[in-house]
């Protein structure tokens, strides 16, 4: 089978995966891989989770879809659960992260228009990634993602990440700003963590200027960092938070959560989605959230992350081309001093699935159900590859 009939958006694919179990994946020749990527932060509960397979088949044999003309019990239950967890009050369901972010951007514009701002503007960050729709690629801070798609969407200004003083200067010069949209850990941008104070400073800035504080937790959410949402480590409450990736563990679903005034800006007819929040996606996501909330998944996310980060730190401490090792829970970056895309293929040969982002950052997003032994195995395969990398 070739890829000739597909648009070439993803380039050459490195392998063909046909099965998975826990933190293991299998290709069509039966070769086993250790998964330290989780399909890009999606399968946090691992592959072929029996309770999720059951939730899918049970719901699929009852009702997969009925449209949002009708009320959907699992959609209501999932919304309630996410609100209980996050302290938000209302949810809009989409099918992806980019769509969840579109909802957030539309809420920001409603907020700006309500305030009488003529051209409501959202403040976004350097090196941000918010998706591939026209508005979200405009909000993203990478020329590579935007190039060729001009004209971009108006209504965005950009500032540096983790630098509140610069944002204050930008605020002084832009009375049209009505919201700030931030990934509390930049994922695609290279696992850049916000400093503990930064999120609080953002909250203060938003309160002062009547801006909405909006967090993109598409990648950081759903337990990956050891709490349901990463911003919960800081105690800061946003007005809007989006998530997707790990919410369905592979079932496509996204969510835009809001609280306070931001929760009531959307009115009938303002927004919608044919598939968004359908019975199948919501009953599976509900099971995902229940599984995340019971047992010790958050503790395991932290433990797995610690094993990998400490293991790599000790193995690589004298390696000159290793610039930094950072992360939180099962979201880890190893920054080298040079581009290292080829490490991905090297690791694959050794039966380990990793990713390289922002040219020179090895990104690890292992499933939270990984065993200690598997976490040590990630280190023992990856450390020598990094050490020997030319
Ligand atoms: C992956 C990602 C998105 C886009 O999600 P899609 O489901 O691919 O549309 C948006 N924001 C962040 C932070 C992401 O990591």
CA–CA distance, 27 with 22 (Å, rounded to integer):
15
Q: How many CB atoms lie within 10 A of CB 11?
A: 7
Q: What is the DSSP letter of 21?
A: E
4 pLDDT tier (thresholds 50, 70, 90): confident
- Per-residue pLDDT, averaged over 347-365, amounts to 98
CA–CA distance, 304 with 354 (Å, rounded to integer):
15
Can you read off the two tokens belonging to residue 343? 């490490």
pLDDT at 149: 98
- On whether the pTM is more than 0.95, the answer is yes
Residue 146 has pLDDT above 70, yes or no: yes
Residue 3 has pLDDT above 80, yes or no: no
- Per-residue pLDDT, averaged over 225-251, amounts to 98
- 280-338 pLDDT, tens digit per residue, is 999 999 999 999 999 999 999 999 999 999 999 999 999 999 999 999 999 999 999 99
**Cα-to-centroid distance, 203 and ligand 1 (Å):** 23
pLDDT at 196: 84
Q: For the chain, which residues make up each domain, given as ranges?
A: 17-49+296-388, 52-294
Q: For ligand 1, what atom is nearest to the CA of residue 219? A: 15
**Cα-to-centroid distance, 140 and ligand 1 (Å):** 10
The pocket around ligand 1, CB under 6 angstroms, is made up of 96-98, 101, 129-131, 183, 187-188, 216, 218-219, 244-245
DSSP codes joined into one string, 327-353: EETTEEEEEESS--TTHHHHHHHTTEE
Q: What angle do CA 96, 49, 44 make, to 5 degrees?
A: 50
Let me know: does 103 contact 136? Beta carbons within 8 Å. Answer: no
- 106-136 pLDDT, tens digit per residue, is 999 999 999 999 999 999 999 999 999 999 9
Q: Which of 336, 249, 307, 346 is nearest to 49 (CA)?
A: 249
Alpha-carbon separation of residue 390 from 161, 314, 346, 359 (angstroms): 31, 20, 12, 15
Q: For ligand 1, what atom is nearest to the CA of residue 136? A: 10
**Cα-to-centroid distance, 254 and ligand 1 (Å):** 9
User: Does 17-49+296-388 carry CATH code 3.90.1150.10?
Assistant: yes
Class of domain 52-294: alpha beta
Residue 53, C-beta contacts closer than 8 angstroms, at least 6 positions apart: none
Residue with tokens 């879809």: 65
CA–CA distance, 275 with 99 (Å, rounded to integer):
12
2 pLDDT tier (thresholds 50, 70, 90): low
Report the share of the chain in percent with pLDDT over 70. Answer: 99
pLDDT at 176: 98
**Cα-to-centroid distance, 187 and ligand 1 (Å):** 9
Same fold, 17-49+296-388 and 52-294: no
Residue 22 has pLDDT above 60, yes or no: yes
- 192-203 pLDDT, tens digit per residue, is 999 989 999 999
């Amino acid at each position: 089978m070739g890829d000739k009939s597909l648009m070439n958006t993803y380039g050459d694919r490195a392998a063909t995966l046909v099965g998975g179990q826990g933190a293991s994946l299998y290709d069509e020749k039966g070769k086993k891989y250790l998964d330290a990527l989780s399909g890009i932060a999606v399968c946090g509960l691992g592959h072929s989770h029996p309770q999720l397979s059951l939730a899918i088949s049970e719901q699929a044999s009852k009702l997969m879809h009925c449209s949002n003309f009708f009320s959907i019990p699992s959609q209501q239950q999932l919304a309630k659960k996410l609100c209980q967890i996050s302290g938000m009050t209302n949810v809009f369901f989409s099918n992806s992260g980019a769509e969840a972010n579109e909802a957030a951007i539309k809420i920001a514009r409603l907020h700006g228009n309500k305030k009488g701002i003529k051209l409501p503007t959202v403040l976004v960050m350097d090196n941000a990634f918010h998706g591939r729709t026209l508005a979200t690629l405009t909000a993203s801070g990478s020329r590579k993602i935007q190039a060729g798609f001009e004209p971009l969407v108006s209504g965005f200004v950009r500032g540096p990440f983790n630098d509140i003083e610069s944002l204050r200067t930008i605020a002084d010069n832009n009375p049209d700003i009505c919201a700030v949209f931030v990934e509390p850990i930049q994922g695609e941008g290279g696992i850049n963590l916000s400093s503990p104070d930064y999120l609080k400073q953002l909250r203060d800035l938003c309160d002062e200027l009547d801006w909405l504080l909006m967090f993109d937790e598409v990648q950081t959410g759903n337990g990956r960092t050891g709490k349901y949402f990463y911003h919960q480590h800081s105690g800061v409450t946003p007005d809007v938070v989006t998530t997707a990736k790990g919410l369905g563990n592979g079932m496509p679903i996204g969510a835009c959560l809001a609280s306070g005034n931001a929760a009531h800006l959307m009115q009938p007819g303002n927004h919608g989605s044919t598939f968004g929040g359908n019975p199948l996606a919501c009953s599976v996501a509900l099971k995902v959230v229940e599984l995340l909330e019971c047992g010790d998944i958050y503790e395991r996310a932290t433990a797995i992350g610690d094993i990998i980060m400490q293991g790599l730190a000790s193995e690589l401490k004298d390696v000159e081309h290793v610039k930094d090792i950072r992360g939180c829970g099962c979201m880890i970056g190893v920054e080298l001093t040079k581009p290292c895309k080829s490490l991905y293929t090297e690791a694959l040969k050794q039966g380990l699935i990793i990713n390289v982002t922002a040219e020179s950052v090895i990104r690890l997003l292992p499933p939270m159900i990984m065993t200690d032994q598997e976490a040590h195995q990630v280190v023992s395969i990856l450390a020598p590859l990094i050490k020997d990398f030319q």
